[in-house]
Amino acid sequence: MGRVARLSAGPLRVERRTRSTMHVAVVTGPGAVELRNEPIPRLGPEDVLIEVGTCGLCTMERRLFDGTKPIYPVAPGHEAGGRVIEVGQAVASLPGSPQIGDLVTVDLLTRCGTCRMCRRGRSALCKRPQGGTLSDGTISMGAGLAEVVRVAAAQTYCVGEIPVEHAAMGEPLACVVHSARLSGFRPGDRVAVVGAGYMGRLHLALCRAWGASCAGMVDVDEQRRAEASAAGADWVAGPDGLTGWLGQHDVVFVTAGTPGAVELALDLCDDAGAVVLYGAFAKDVMASVGADRIHHHELSIIGAFSQEPEDWRTAAGLLQSGALAADLDRLVTARYGLADVADALALTVERPVYRVMVGQEAERMSGSSRTSRER
């Protein structure tokens, strides 16, 4: 990893490793992934170099691997946590900027900063997201499934000394913070979450930590309902067992984008309630909503997509506080080393999972290249 040295005319840095290349995972087609040697990127003055400890596999990585999102070749991985090992000259001189040795959660999906949405402060809806490439032109969609990543210092958030796999959950947690912020959630609100998968469970954990008076979950899967109950849900039910919970909620988050979910969520709402459509829906899924019902009961239907810097800052603070630590621990399904990334991706296709973690720290924590827990 190099050594710390003081330059005669500048700040601290880590001297570049004697090796000049790193490994990065590239999905080359459905069910096909390879580790490539890639030059370790050079830093600009406002960049930092992160040694990736762990990267979580999101739905995007699963879809790339199973062929439902056919963009090849591509270097995926956008849920990463790791330590700063080198900083650009401009960064080292700025108090409050990430410094060598800091554990950070990393925003690997760059926005342009100049389009109308970015200038309105709604960078989650950036019209010109800035994707990168590897040295051979391979598309980068985060490229966090690698030994190191280069990122602008402005897109890293220090999290103190916490488990690195918690740091890797910074991106999805920031998305959930964004969802809750748009919902207008307030302490004391009654919350329901439709869908008890990974993102649903993060919504549950966040709302409980922020003072929901009651938080329940709806899911078709009995085991996931049981796991949600063990994680602190005040009630759990299948879609056909909601009689006692209809019309009882201030905010309903839909994290499972399935036909009928919008109508079900509206049925769960009390007057002046908000339904947040967080989960992605197939483009042909339609919802039937009574306009007069929305009008007379002052109901809101809100879309929530991605995250913004404000959400990252909040998420990083939550991670550093440890308020969600027990919840995050429950959501690690399996751990793999980077060399076993093909097995890790295959697991996400084979069965339901929460988060599968990949990287050197994930491998170290497992005691081997793999360990599985609850799904």
Domains for the chain: give ranges and CATH numbers: 4-169+331-372 (3.90.180.10), 177-303 (3.40.50.720)
Tens-digit pLDDT profile for residues 39-52: 999 999 999 999 99
pLDDT band at residue 6 using 50, 70 and 90 as cut-offs: very low
pLDDT at 13 over 70: no
| Dihedral class, residue 106 (left if φ above 0, else alpha if ψ from -120 to 50, else beta) | beta
pLDDT band at 367 (very low <50, low <70, confident <90, very high): low
In degrees and rounded to multiples of 5, residue 192 shows phi and psi of: -125, 145
13-17, 98-102, 135-139, 164-168, range with the lowest pLDDT: 13-17
* Residue range 209-238, pLDDT digits in tens: 999 999 999 999 999 999 999 999 999 999
CA nearest to 324, candidates 94, 137, 162: 162
- Confidence (pLDDT) at 92: 87
pTM over 0.85: yes
Q: What percentage of the chain exceeds 90 in pLDDT?
A: 87
**pLDDT tier, 132 (very low <50, low <70, confident <90, very high otherwise):** confident
pLDDT band at 19 (very low <50, low <70, confident <90, very high): confident
pLDDT of 371 strictly over 70: no
Cα separation of 349 and 153, whole Å?
34
Helix (H, G, I), strand (E, B) or coil at 22: strand
For residue 18, name the pLDDT band (cuts at 50, 70, 90).
low
- Which whole-number Å values give the CA distances from 55 to 58, 187, 362, in the listed order? 9, 32, 9
**355, 198 contact by CB (below 8 A):** yes
Which two tokens mark 348?
């996400």
Q: Is the dihedral of CA 142, 148, 151, 153 positive or negative?
A: positive
Instruction: In whole angstroms, give the CA distance from residue 349 to residue 34.
Output: 17
pLDDT tens digits, residue range 109-119?
Answer: 999 999 999 99
Look up residue 183 and give its two tokens.
Answer: 């919902």
